[in-house]
Chains A and B, each alone.
Chain A
Amino acid sequence: GAGVSQSPSNKVTEKGKDVELRCDPISGHTALYWYRQSLGQGLEFLIYFQGNSAPDKSGLPSDRFSAERTGGSVSTLTIQRTQQEDSAVYLCASSYRPGTGGGRFNEQFFGPGTRLTVL
């Protein structure tokens, strides 16, 4: 079946502009994660959604970052007033409800990412 898809694949924006990044998770996956991958920094957790529960926003680096998930499926990550340090690859991952077992425990399936460049 289809994997996690993200759009756009690349985004170039000017400092101070707002950007929206989209994630389409695997059908049937109730958990959705956003991570940020900066050069030489590995992957950094941003936010987590599970069903209709309140999201875990503990990884968002500032209040310029927000995310929402509509209808328990598609998610949008919004970065307001972008800064050059926001340049990174933004990765979305989805999984079955964590801890529900079956298959590979808590396997998170990643999309190809959106490469954001802030000039």
Chain B
Amino acid sequence: QQQVKQSPQSLIVQKGGISIINCAYENTAFDYFPWYQQFPGKGPALLIAIRPDVSEKKEGRFTISFNKSAKQFSLHIMDSQPGDSATYFCAASRTGAGSYQLTFGKGTKLSVIP
């Protein structure tokens, strides 16, 4: 059972455009939703994260939109740059007890073309 579904699998965006990646989750116990960025040969690095008590969080050019009733969240990258070309993973975890392990989506490979 895939608990976090991510789409699209790959995305090509022109420089300066908006990149949008979507995720949907099934487990209503999830209450922490991070996005990780991974460059080839590197481990993932936390980009931005949101808790379900807010519907949107913005950090620089990166924004998470969260819809609790639809169990969906998305990453928006404004003014996309070639340096943003990477694989992006959404994730979810249940906090407050247990291991806080992350359940990841399968990733989106973003290519920003000049």
Name which residue of chain A comes closest to B45, CB basis. A110
Select B46's contact among A104, A111, A112, beta carbons within 8 Å: A104
Query: CB distance A43 to B101 under 8 Å?
Result: no
For B34-78 the 0/1 string (1 means CB < 8 A from A) is 101000011111100101000000000000000000000000000
Chain B interface residue count, CB cutoff 8 Å, equals 27
Query: CB distance B95 to A108 under 8 Å?
Result: no
Query: CB distance A42 to B101 under 8 Å?
Result: no
If over half of B's interface residues share one DSSP class (helix, strand or loop), that class is named, otherwise mixed; here it is loop
Query: CB distance A112 to B42 under 8 Å?
Result: yes
Query: CB distance A4 to B43 under 8 Å?
Result: yes
List chain B positions with a Cβ less than 8 A from chain A: 6, 32, 34, 36, 41-46, 49, 51, 89, 91, 93, 95-96, 98-107
5 contacts between A and B (CB under 8 A): A48-B99, A99-B95, A104-B46, A104-B49, A107-B49
Shortest distance between the CB of B12 and any CB in chain A (Å) = 18
* Bound-complex Cα distance A41 to B87 (A): 13
* Bound-complex Cα distance A99 to B101 (A): 12
Name which residue of chain B comes closest to A106, CB basis. B100
Query: CB distance A105 to B32 under 8 Å?
Result: yes
